[in-house]
Structure 1
Amino acid sequence: MTEVDLHMHTTASDGMNRPSENVRMALEAGLSAIAITDHDTVAGYVEAAQAGQTLGITVVPGVEISTVAEGQDIHILGYYIDVNDERLLERLRQLRSTRENRNAMLLERLRELGLDITIEEVIEQAGKSASGDETIGRPHIASVLVSKGYVASVHEAFDRYLGKGGAAYVNPPRVSPFEAVDWIHEAGGAAVVAHPGLYQADELVERIVRHGADGIEAFHSDHTPEDESRYAEMAARLQVLVTAGSDFHGERNGHELHAPIGSRRIGAHVLEQLKARAK
């Protein structure tokens, strides 16, 4: 049975590898297909799809939309979206603008705490321009904290400053997960709740599914075996799809973020199921 990994990031958002490199690693991992699911952008898809054609790997067009509900970040994955849908592209541009505002608020908080970091340093660390279709996120800020010696690792940066409960954490208003599900459907795609085990909010996850989400990412590198069983059972009860993803970001400052490509995988039959669910 051929297998797929449906959650990974590239340099188009906060991943460390070019989209084409992700495809090459997928081939080496023995996968038949992957989805490129960068945060609030589809900028990495074309390069990945071209590499996929060369290497014989199916590349599913995808996105991971950042939302907020009940005071916490909730991520919604979109599969088989029309990456040229102008309404979706404009909505993603608006989300990236919100992300830029969040980054500015984070940096201001850090400076108030005595950690002097500028957006220019973050952009240089990220290796991308300050504008365009690519995103800059908290892992890029974490890398600067490490490089300037404020923390020893990206993990420590999130624990002490950037993650929920951290001293510099901010969470400005964003689109709701219910709206994100609708956006994905309106762009011709299937919507899946990403890594629900990270939220500790199963009632909310169930409400998102009942609103119209097409699946639950039960198998994720940050889930425990108990999480995976619970969400697979929830998906079966609610009659939606089960997906799997490594959430690969690559290695940053000597630490692997999440897990390698292919560390969470599922049978390729799920691709036809997602296509059938796509609106």
Structure 2
Amino acid sequence: MQSSIYGYLTYFHEIVNEGSIAAAARKLEIAPPAVSNALKLLERHLGLPLFTRTTRKMELTEAGQRLFDSTRDIIQGLDSAMESVRDLTLKPSGLVRVTTSSIAYLLVVKPYFAEFCRRYPDIRLEISVNDGIVDIVKEGFDVGIRFGDRLEQNVVAKKLLDPVRLGLYASENYIRKYGKPETLQDLSRHKLLGYRFVTANRIYPLTLNQDGREISVDIPHVIVTNNVMVELDSVRQGVALGLLFEPVVNALHDREKFIPVLEKHWTQYPELFLFYMQHSQKAGRVRAWIDFLLEKTSA
């Protein structure tokens, strides 16, 4: 590959990732005409247009999409290789983009990220909390944190936490008003907080353990939310029973207000994993974040 073509491809990928020539130029910290000229030269070299342009946006042509898909891993791999060589003489620095669910944030990011920033003052963290399914490659994230290890191709997973219990909790006010359920049959007279998955747009079912097997229990939802903070506040205020992660409750400053209900019937949720592209850990800034979280969660 001609060295100039590699440069043109780098500009091309930034245009796709940022959505416009102007945004790509800002990211690359160069003048927009330089990016536009590189794109023209690349299109001339290929003999095909890579974008359709309107006054509002740029969209990839079929040729542009094929070029982007077939060179994405190559460009990312070369960038990581170059960065790993630079890291031999430099302190880890730059931006690390992290996507995490709200539960994972509470369990493994919130307790430690301030210490990480003190230890690596030249690294900037961008933490995106999203309970939907996120494609880290497509969305441009370096690292993701989520439950379960079903992963895309070329993605590496490292376990951060063992399975955690998912249990029912109530407040004193709720129990005073509605009573405390003592059996699974008692739940038919109670109210539940519903959690709606962002991506699937469905409410998480109440699943409990009965004699070694999991069963679904149908209870009316008095509130439905897609935010764990709303769940916690609703339990505090005695609105309904809440289906909550045990370690999240244990980490609360007012955890004594959350009373376990039907604890022997609680179920377990899968392991929590950190995941990243195979080549990305070569970059010192990303490797520092990965090693730091693994250190903290294995202590």
The TM-score range, normalised by the shorter chain, is under 0.3
More strand by proportion, 1 or 2? 2
Normalising to structure 1: TM-score of the pair? 0.28
Structure showing greater radius of gyration is 2
Normalising to structure 2: TM-score of the pair? 0.27
